[in-house]
Structure 1
Amino acid sequence: MSHVIEFSANGHPVDSRGNVAELPAELVEAARTARNVEVFTGAGMSKDSGLDTFRDAQTGIWSRVDPQAMASLSSWARDPEPILAWYLWRGTLCRRAEPNLGHRAIASWWGRSGVDLHITTQNIDDLHERAFDDHNEARPRIAHLHGSLFSYRCSICHKPARTPELPQEQVERATPTACSLCGNPVRPGVVWFGEPLPEKEWDQAETSMQQADLVVIVGTSGVVWPAAGLPNIVAERGVPIVEVSPQRSDLTDLATWSLRTTAAIGLPAIVQALGEE
């Protein structure tokens, strides 16, 4: 059973009486001694940066757009222009957002001596990458299981293509460029419904889960498969798992500790508890 750690409204862990407390010593020790850290993130990771989560009932992207219309090969084949316009605008909004304190805490953790950190994300933004750029650090391995807003390819031959220029204002339609190899339309490099996950990224994620001596799950509901099955690899090995989520998720029961807070609060709390090197 997961040990749930509540947080106060002002971002501090609290005990059962609501008094400010420290993170459990066992959690801090597990994080301090971990040498292979796997960070597994979902849409909640980027929510504190102002990017909507896909499954939020009030503000989620998919609550305003028919997901089948914007994320399927059949819709792209019928009329790619509104789909391309929608993804280009998502790219614009992403570039206007900034990595939050959670992204930056992960970058700081990576910079600690002796720590090999890997990130597996279900997000299609580039906030993880930009957090490391801001710290002037070399990036760890980052596996984008669902692709990226900034990775385009031919819709037929899959030849990589340059990301189109991002718009300053939202438009209803945008004409895809033609593939330089076969002439077919260039599409966003994201995983649509019914498509397999990218093999290279999946293999990286599986390997990291198998090698990790600590896993940190951040901002994911645990309902999107097959990605949601990855933490089971770790749970079966008895490796400590820390979840950071404002609400209970489908992965909470796998966690050793579940921090009831956001990425921008929970991750800095963990890294701060590690102390100075």
Structure 2
Amino acid sequence: MTTILKDYVDQAKRVVVFTGAGISTESGIPDFRSPGGLWTQNKPIYFQDFMASEAMRVEAWQRKFNMDDTFTNAQPNAGHMAIARLVQSGKVTSVITQNIDNLHQDSGIPDERIVELHGNTTYAKCLDCSTRHEIEFVRAGFEQAGTPPPCSKCGGILKTATISFGQSMPEEEMLRAEAATLACDLFIAIGSSLVVYPAAGFPIIAKQNGAALIIINREETELDEIADLVLNTEAGPTLSALLPHN
């Protein structure tokens, strides 16, 4: 089946890669939704609760700091590196990701080639003025005062640069993802359960626009029936097989 996958990639001119949590579990980052995942241990904090309650903001940041070792020690795996090689070769035009772990950037893919639909947990932003703050700044203030510090520029509320439940999707990123999807002739969804919308709508858009659709995921997805090829395999070995000398 990897031979068929390689044929699709070789024949395509503009490939879009769409990634979900399944590619990063191979780097040791837990899947939030799976049994035993973070959301089965802690209920998600909704955006409106984060905004309304200092106690919820404290809880959200405490969870973030507890998870930091998992994220900061994670390294790109073979799947991330294979995608980076395909971007460098010009075959892959864009990487649309639901992940917040920065591993695509760490693999060497330029920021302008990455569309982060759910944001990025490796830094914070002010919800008022959008000024970026490093996590170290927030953590130092939190440990000193027991609460997250305000924005150093305007005094606004700081939050990880991720999209929480109840928070609006980033308009610019959604537009970039749609444009890339409509321009591709091959859309490869990797490690995503394809149940979280609007993100999961992009494979459908690609297929309806005439692109071939390939799904690589360890388990079945609801979109398997419209895909041209489905591979229930690990992302790393599967994608590595696309590269020369493998």
Could you tell me how far 1:140 is from its partner in structure 2? 5.2
The Cα of 1:142 is off from its aligned counterpart by 0.5
Between the aligned residues of both structures, percent identity stands at: 31
SS at match of 2:34: coil
String of CA shifts for 1:119-174, please: whole Å, max 9, x gaps. Answer: 11011111111011xxxx6555111101110232223x14223122187xxx9x95
Structure 1: which amino acid aligns with 2:3?
L
1:76 deviates by 4.5
Structure 1: segments with no counterpart, 5+ residues? 6-21
Pick from 61, 64, 67 the counterpart of residue 38 of structure 2: 61
TM-superposed CA distance for 1:210, in Å, is 0.3
> Do the aligned residues in 1 keep the contact of 2:129 with 2:156 (CA within 8 Å)?
no
1:182 Cα deviation after fit: 3.0
- Contact conserved, 1:151 with 1:188, CA < 8 A, in 2? yes
* Structure 2: distance between partners of 1:214 and 1:230: 12
Q: Distance in 1 between matches of 2:150 and 2:23?
A: 34
Letter in 2 for 1:160: T
- Where do 5+ consecutive residues of structure 2 fail to align? none
> Residue 212 and residue 33 in structure 1: after superposition, are their counterparts in 2 closer, same or farther (change >3 A)?
same
Does structure 2 conserve the Cα–Cα contact (< 8 Å) formed by 1:143 and 1:205?
yes
Q: What does residue 95 of structure 1 align with?
A: 72
Would the aligned equivalents of 1:153 and 1:161 in 2 still touch at CA under 8 Å? yes
Aligned length: 239
More helix by percentage:
2
Asked whether 1:163 is paired with 2:134, we answer yes
Q: Which has the larger radius of gyration?
A: 1
Q: What CA distance in whole angstroms lies between the structure 1 residues aligned with 2:76 and 2:131?
A: 26
- Answering whether residue 46 of structure 2 is matched by residue 74 of structure 1, we say no
Determine if contact 2:123/2:135 at 8 Å carries over to the other structure.
no
Q: Distance in 2 between matches of 1:174 and 1:48?
A: 34
Cα pair 1:38 1:208 within 8 Å, conserved: yes
Residues 82 and 174 in structure 1, CA contact (< 8 A), matched pair in contact too: no
In structure 2, the residue matched to 1:118 is 94
1:175 and 2:182 are equivalent in the alignment: no
Q: Find the counterpart in structure 1 of residue 233 from structure 2.
A: 261
Partner of 2:201: 229
Q: Which amino acid is 1:89 matched to?
A: N
Alignment RMSD (CA, Å): 2.3
TM-score normalised by L of structure 2:
0.88
Partner of 1:185: 157
Q: CA deviation at 1:252?
A: 1.4
| Residue identity opposite 1:88 in structure 2 | F
Match of 1:201 among 167, 173, 182: 173
Tell me which residue corresponds to 1:220. Answer: 192
Runs of 4+ in 1 over 4 A off after TM superposition: 137-140
2:196 aligns to what SS in structure 1? coil
Q: 1:258 to 1:191 in 2, by over 3 A?
A: same
**Paired position in structure 1 for 2:224:** 252
2:6 aligned residue: 28
CA contact 2:224–2:230 (8 Å) conserved in 1: yes
Change (3 A) 1:89 1:71: farther
Instruction: Give the Cα–Cα distance (whole angstroms) in 1 for the partners of residues 104 and 193 of structure 2.
Output: 19
